[in-house]
Structure 1
Amino acid sequence: MKSMSKPIVDEYPSIKVARESEEKTIVTPLQLGERIKSIRTKLGMTLEEASQKTGLARSTLSKIENEQISPTFQAMQKLAHGLNIDMPQLFEPPEKILATGRRDITKNAMGKPHPTQTYEHELLATQLSHKKMMPFKSRVRARSLAEYSEWVRHGGEEFLLVLSGEIIFYSEFYEPVTLNEGDSVYYDANMGHMLVSAGDDDALILWVTSAN
């Protein structure tokens, strides 16, 4: 008897869902309340702040955003003025978020080595180009500030997580701070910074740097 192989779309439901979504074109009507809320949150405003700027009651704004009531033309004028936008922007459809499907797995100790005088870097996710973040693990070899010729500084922002060991984090505008396993710091990388291992063993850290 001839064996019947199971279709891959049945084996992986997510593929079937994605394929069905590609085959159907759904026109979603504009949700004005959702659009107003999206604009407000992008501006970093609370409902209370938006109420003060637009002259509309907080409860009214909440009802508009939750599609409980439709705003009058006068209310839309106040919204446009208070949010400092043109009225047509209230009717623009929300931006679509498209998944790029990018992925890069780096197995343990399989990153790209990049040793320096003070650090032993292991670059991660090296197969992806034009990354918005640059992740890498580093073994901190330095034991004193004398091993640095000057402050380390570069564009972007940086996140540091201590994976093992103990470090002293020096920065240009703050007092030195000791960080142990599990501790982290997020900082402006334009600010001068340096690290040294405080224990007998080299500390191991995870660094994530934003692209400029």
Structure 2
Amino acid sequence: MVTPVPTLGVLLRKLRSRHGWTLKQMSENSGIPLSTLSKIEHDRLTLTYDKLYQVSQRLGIPISELFAETGQDTAPTVTARRSLGDIDQALHVETPNYDYYFLCTELRRKRMIPVITKIRAKTSEEFGELVHHPGEEFIYVLQGSIVVNTEFYDPVVLAAGQSIYIDSSMGHAYLAAEGCNEAEVLGVMSSGGDDLQESLMSIHDAHGGQRNGVAPGAVRTVPQ
């Protein structure tokens, strides 16, 4: 039996049901106009990642909860869990600039949001304003080539096999490079409220380990 592919509309509708909200209450709590929310729930409209993050902040829940299917354990402590990513079963969110394919949506309380993105916009004018959202992100080019525009740096061109790691609160935009009709990248975005690295390192510290020769709790300076 094939599991139905989730949609953003279905997941938001289930989220509203879990909280017992009417459509109007969901609109008031999320800041999404009632007519817009209705279109999203019926899969006639979608939202970009930065807008979804704003919604998660208004609702007071991690953004990963927006991409979580129901029926999963909500306990914050989970061990030995795993999820197989399959683009055919990913949550597809289409926008004028990107096609997002959010992976592993059955896991709740993820500390990272893995997503495959197809990039179509080719100019800054076509893309519009740079986007900002808390956290950090890693982008690896799978196919084609992209131009990375950021608020404080000159544009950089990345080809297949190259990557970039940025502070997501800095304005940024990803464009298809000249001669590339559509590029495909793998992105991993972290929530601004989750200190993933320190959480993982604390496990190592608890067993008296050291961080690449640095005592637990110390800050290691990496040469630039």
Using the size of structure 1 for normalisation, the TM-score is: 0.52
Q: How far 1:107 moved relative to its partner?
A: 2.2
Q: Name stretches of at least 5 consecutive residues in structure 1 with no aligned partner.
A: 1-97
* Pair 1:149–1:200, CA change in 2 (3 A): closer
Alpha-carbon distance in structure 2 between the residues aligned to 1:108 and 1:130: 20
Alpha-carbon distance in structure 1 between the residues aligned to 2:172 and 2:118: 16
Alpha-carbon distance in structure 1 between the residues aligned to 2:121 and 2:145: 12
The number of residues matched between the two structures is 115
* Pair 1:127–1:176, CA change in 2 (3 A): same
Deviations 1:43-95 (A, max 9, x none): xxxxxxxxxxxxxxxxxxxxxxxxxxxxxxxxxxxxxxxxxxxxxxxxxxxxx
Alpha-carbon distance in structure 1 between the residues aligned to 2:145 and 2:124: 15
Q: How far 1:185 moved relative to its partner?
A: 0.3
Q: Name stretches of at least 5 consecutive residues in structure 2 with no aligned partner.
A: 1-76, 193-224
Alpha-carbon distance in structure 1 between the residues aligned to 2:176 and 2:128: 17
Alpha-carbon distance in structure 2 between the residues aligned to 1:106 and 1:99: 19
* Pair 1:192–1:182, CA change in 2 (3 A): same
| Corresponding residue SS for 1:147 | helix
- In structure 1, the partner of 2:118 is 139
Where do 1:13-92 residues align within 5 Å? none
* Contact 2:145–2:180 under 8 Å retained in 1: no
Alpha-carbon distance in structure 2 between the residues aligned to 1:140 and 1:99: 34
Q: How far 1:111 moved relative to its partner?
A: 1.0
Q: Does 1:205 align with 2:185?
A: yes
Query: Which structure has the bigger radius of gyration?
Result: 1
Code of the residue aligned with 1:144 in structure 2: it is T
Alpha-carbon distance in structure 2 between the residues aligned to 1:117 and 1:108: 20
Using the size of structure 2 for normalisation, the TM-score is: 0.49
| Corresponding residue SS for 1:146 | helix
Alpha-carbon distance in structure 1 between the residues aligned to 2:78 and 2:135: 24
